[in-house]
C-alpha cells in the first residue's frame, strides 16, 4: 500500500507543529521550506488537516498553524484519513454471484487487512514520534 506524497508531507508537518506546540503559530513558508515544498502546495494539505480539526490556522502577518490538542491524541490514522479520505482501498468490480456468493471474496480479504492496518495506525501517534526524537538526542 502506498499513500500519496501529500500524506507524507502532512505527517512530517504535524511532527514539526508538535515540536513547536509551546510556541507561536508556525508559518506555512517555514513548514514548506523544511520539506522543500512550495507554500501553496503545503497550504492545500494543511487546509485538509485544519478541516479535520487536527490543527488550527491563524490568519495575518503573525499567523500560521498550530496543533490542536495533544500530540498523544493525534494518531497517524487521523492524519492519513484527513488527507486521503476514508474510502476503502479496494472496491470489488466483479459480480460473479455463483462464485462469490453475492460477495467479493477478494474485497473481503483486502478489507480484513485494511482493518488491521488501521488498528496499528490508530495506535501510533505524533506524540510517539516526539518521544523517539527526544530519546535519540
CATH code (residue 111): 1.10.10.10
Give the E-state strand segments of the chain in sequence order. Answer: 55-58, 64-67
Q: What is the pTM of this model?
A: 0.84
CA-CA-CA-CA torsion sign (59, 64, 69, 75): positive
Question: If you count them, how many residues does the chain have?
Answer: 137
pLDDT tens over the chain, length 137 residues: 678 999 999 999 999 999 986 777 999 999 999 999 999 999 999 999 999 999 999 888 888 999 998 999 999 999 999 999 887 666 666 655 555 455 677 778 888 888 899 999 999 999 999 999 888 87
Q: How many domains, in total, are found in the chain? A: 1
Q: What is the pLDDT of residue 107?
A: 77
CA dist 111 and 119 (Å) reads 12
Q: Which domain holds residue 28?
A: 5-136
Q: What is the pLDDT of residue 103?
A: 65
CA dist 48 and 46 (Å) reads 5
Amino acid at each position: 500500500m502506498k499513500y500519496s506524497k501529500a500524506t507524507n508531507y502532512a505527517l512530517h508537518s504535524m511532527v514539526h507543529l508538535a515540536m513547536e506546540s509551546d510556541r507561536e503559530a508556525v508559518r506555512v513558508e517555514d513548514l514548506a521550506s523544511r520539506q522543500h515544498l512550495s507554500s501553496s502546495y503545503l497550504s492545500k494539505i494543511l487546509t485538509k488537516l485544519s478541516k479535520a480539526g487536527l490543527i488550527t490556522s491563524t490568519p495575518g502577518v503573525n499567523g500560521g498553524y498550530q496543533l490542536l490538542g495533544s500530540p498523544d491524541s493525534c494518531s497517524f490514522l487521523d492524519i492519513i484519513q484527513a488527507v486521503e479520505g476514508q474510502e476503502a482501498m479496494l472496491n470489488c468490480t466483479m459480480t460473479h454471484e455463483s462464485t462469490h456468493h453475492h460477495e467479493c471474496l477478494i474485497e473481503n480479504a483486502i478489507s480484513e487487512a485494511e482493518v488491521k492496518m488501521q488498528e496499528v495506525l490508530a495506535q501510533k501517534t505524533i506524540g510517539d514520534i516526539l518521544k523517539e526524537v527526544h530519546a535519540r538526542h
